[in-house]
Amino acid sequence: MHVGHSSGGGKKFEVRKLEISDKSKGFIELLQQLTVCDSVSDKEFEERFHEISCYGNDHIVYVIEDDSSGKIVATGSVFVEKKFIRNCGKVGHIEDVVVDSSARGLQLGKKIVEFLVGHARSMGCYKVILDCSIENRVSRSARLYSGRRRHQQSGFTTGAFTVDS
């Protein structure tokens, strides 16, 4: 899906699922802006890509590509946990959300989270948890969904943040 963006000089971005070719578009380097992510060989990337693909819609990685540069400028993933509680309900877990330092301030983090939440909702999840570190809980999450009220307006119960120890 193409997303026009009026700020930043009228740049155009495409939100889509991760493709094997995205490794050469800076995907791994983008993840390195989030956390420790050593170099990944083409073979390792392809193997992990196919492994994740085997989960179908239960594990999706979305990316945002800058149409003008062909560079991956944002990413995030969601996986669906199947539960016995809540009538064998499902919970979506959002992780690894990062926006390239050159594209911050363009609301791309919000956009990727909206896509991830939409995917979880389409899979029937009764809640979605955004997993993040303590450092990112306030700064990043507050900006993404402006707190509890927006979360509730999206149709989800107020949830918890997973805190890394």
Q: Please name each of the domains of the chain with its CATH number.
A: 2-153 (3.40.630.30)
pLDDT at 57 (0 to 100) = 97
Residues 6+ apart with CB under 8 A from 71: 25, 26, 65, 100
pLDDT at 20 (0 to 100) = 97
Confidence of residue 160 (pLDDT cuts 50, 70, 90): very low
What are the tens digits of pLDDT across the range 68-118?
999 999 999 999 999 999 999 999 999 999 999 999 999 999 999 999 999
Confidence of residue 136 (pLDDT cuts 50, 70, 90): low
Residues 6+ apart with CB under 8 A from 38: none
Residues 6+ apart with CB under 8 A from 128: 78, 91, 92, 93, 94, 116, 117, 120, 121, 156, 159
What are the tens digits of pLDDT across the range 6-60?
344 678 999 999 999 999 999 999 999 999 988 899 999 999 999 999 999 999 9
What is the model's pTM?
Answer: 0.78
